[in-house]
């Protein structure tokens, strides 16, 4: 049996050699894909200068107390919506109540003194008519009555002022809005000019930024400007609402405010305002043409024979569904657009 193995092996090898001399392996078939193709042509695009900005509320109020005293109660929390006239916090009215009591006592005393002076005046008026008292005595009683009446009027005004101070003990919201910040807590001392709460009307938001003296002359009220806001998926279009003609003496920049509106927009968010500052020639492809294969950004380019080749590109800004190509492509290249995701290297592309 062992002597037969070399002979069998030789026969098998010989048959294989004879067969290989008369037949060849069939070439692999190329896969054909139906896809859209465009010829790349240079286009004009705006040059954009990005300026940092902040989303702010057009109507923003720092609510403070007109009185000095302990904050007795804060009725709202940060993030809570409030209505105009809604109570926000209360100042301890103990000192104010004491002032009202004192003013009321002063008014009572002044009114009693005025009544006594009036009685003397009326009596001396009658006596003067009967020529019992001199004119000097009569005028003295009249003067005493006038002084007493004036003091009673002053005391009445003092009581009204004290009662008015009581109204200031409860501080209400001056606008419809949202409590966005709290500067003090219950038990702290409130004082005039020192804010306790910040209330903003977030129904009307703006983006505030500053531009250089080179950009400022080209801006006009009402101009639309693209704005990118952190936390907002898509850029929003803002309209220039305010242009400050006076430049900052240190930074030499001009304040610019833009009206913006978008879902989930919040004051305090960071923004990038993209001001157009000129035109440039660029290459652009539709956003659907740009793919990511194995972590590499690229597009499929079709050669003269219709075969697809995946080419790595470096992309720039995306605007209105068009992606700027910074490198990797040249004018005249034929790029796969529609159905690019179904294409692989070497596929034949038919439009």
Distance CA 228, CA 5 (A): 80
For the structural domain made of 65-91+170-197, what CATH number should be given?
2.40.50.100
Q: Given a cut of 80, is residue 286 above it in pLDDT?
A: yes
How far apart are alpha carbons 180 and 249 in whole angstroms?
31
Helix (H) or strand (E) holding 110: helix 94-129
Do residues 39 and 334 touch, judged by C-beta distance below 8 A? yes
- 292-317 residue pLDDT tens: 999 999 999 999 999 999 999 999 98
Q: Is the Cβ–Cβ distance between 296 and 314 less than 8 Å? A: no
Q: Among 76-90, 98-112, 276-290, whose mean pLDDT is lowest? A: 98-112
DSSP-assigned beta bridge partners for residue 309: 301
Q: Is residue 117 classed exposed, middle or buried when 0-12, 13-18 and 19+ CB atoms within 10 A define those classes? A: buried
Would you give the DSSP letter of residue 83? -
**Cα distance between residue 175 and residue 83, in whole Å:** 7
Predicted pLDDT at 209: 97
Query: Per DSSP, which regions of 119-232 are E strands?
Result: 170-172, 177-182, 189-190, 195-212, 224-229
32-46+281-350: what fold?
2.40.420
Q: pLDDT at residue 263 above 90? A: no
Kindly report the pTM of this predicted structure.
0.57
The superfamily in CATH containing domain 51-58+202-277 is Efflux pump adaptor protein, beta barrel domain (2.40.30.170)
Q: Determine which helix (DSSP H) or strand (DSSP E) holds 239, and give its type and residue range.
A: strand 236-243
Q: Domain extents for the chain? A: 32-46+281-350, 51-58+202-277, 65-91+170-197, 94-167
Identical fold at 32-46+281-350 and 94-167? Answer: no
Look up the CATH superfamily of 94-167: Helix hairpin bin (1.10.287.470)
Whether the Cβ atoms of residue 166 and residue 66 lie closer than 8 Å to each other = no
Average pLDDT in the chain:
86
User: What is the pLDDT, as a whole number, of residue 29?
Assistant: 61
């Amino acid at each position: 049996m062992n002597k037969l193995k070399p002979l069998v092996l030789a026969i098998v090898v010989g048959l294989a050699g004879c067969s290989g001399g008369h037949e060849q392996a069939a070439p692999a078939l190329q896969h054909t894909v139906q896809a859209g193709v465009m010829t790349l042509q240079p286009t004009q695009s705006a040059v954009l200068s990005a300026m940092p900005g902040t989303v702010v509320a057009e109507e923003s109020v720092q609510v403070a107390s007109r009185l000095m005293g302990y904050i007795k109660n804060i009725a709202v929390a940060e993030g809570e919506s409030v209505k105009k006239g809604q109570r926000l916090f209360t100042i301890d009215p103990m000192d104010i109540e004491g002032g009202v009591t004192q003013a009321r006592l002063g008014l009572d005393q002044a009114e009693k003194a005025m009544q006594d002076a009036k009685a003397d005046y009326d009596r001396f008026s009658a006596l003067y008519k009967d020529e019992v008292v001199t004119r000097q005595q009569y005028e003295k009683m009249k003067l005493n009555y006038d002084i007493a009446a004036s003091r009673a009027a002053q005391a009445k005004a003092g009581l009204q002022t004290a009662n008015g101070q009581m109204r200031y003990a409860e501080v209400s919201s001056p606008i419809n809005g949202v409590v966005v910040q709290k500067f003090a807590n219950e038990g702290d001392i409130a004082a005039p000019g020192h804010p306790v709460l910040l209330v903003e009307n977030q129904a009307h938001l703006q983006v505030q930024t500053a531009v250089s003296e080179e950009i400022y002359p080209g801006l006009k009220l009402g101009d639309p400007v693209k704005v990118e806001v952190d936390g907002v998926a898509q850029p929003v279009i803002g309209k220039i609402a305010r242009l400050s003609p006076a430049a900052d003496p240190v930074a030499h920049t001009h304040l610019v405010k833009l009206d913006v509106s978008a879902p989930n927009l919040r004051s305090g968010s960071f923004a990038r305002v993209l001001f157009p500052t000129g035109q440039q020639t660029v290459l652009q492809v539709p956003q659907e043409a740009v793919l990511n294969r194995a972590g590499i950004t690229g597009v499929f380019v079709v050669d003269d024979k219709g075969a697809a080749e995946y080419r790595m590109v470096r992309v720039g800004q995306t605007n209105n569904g068009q992606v700027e190509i910074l490198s990797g492509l040249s004018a005249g290249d034929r790029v796969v657009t529609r159905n690019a995701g179904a294409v692989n290297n070497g596929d034949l592309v038919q439009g």
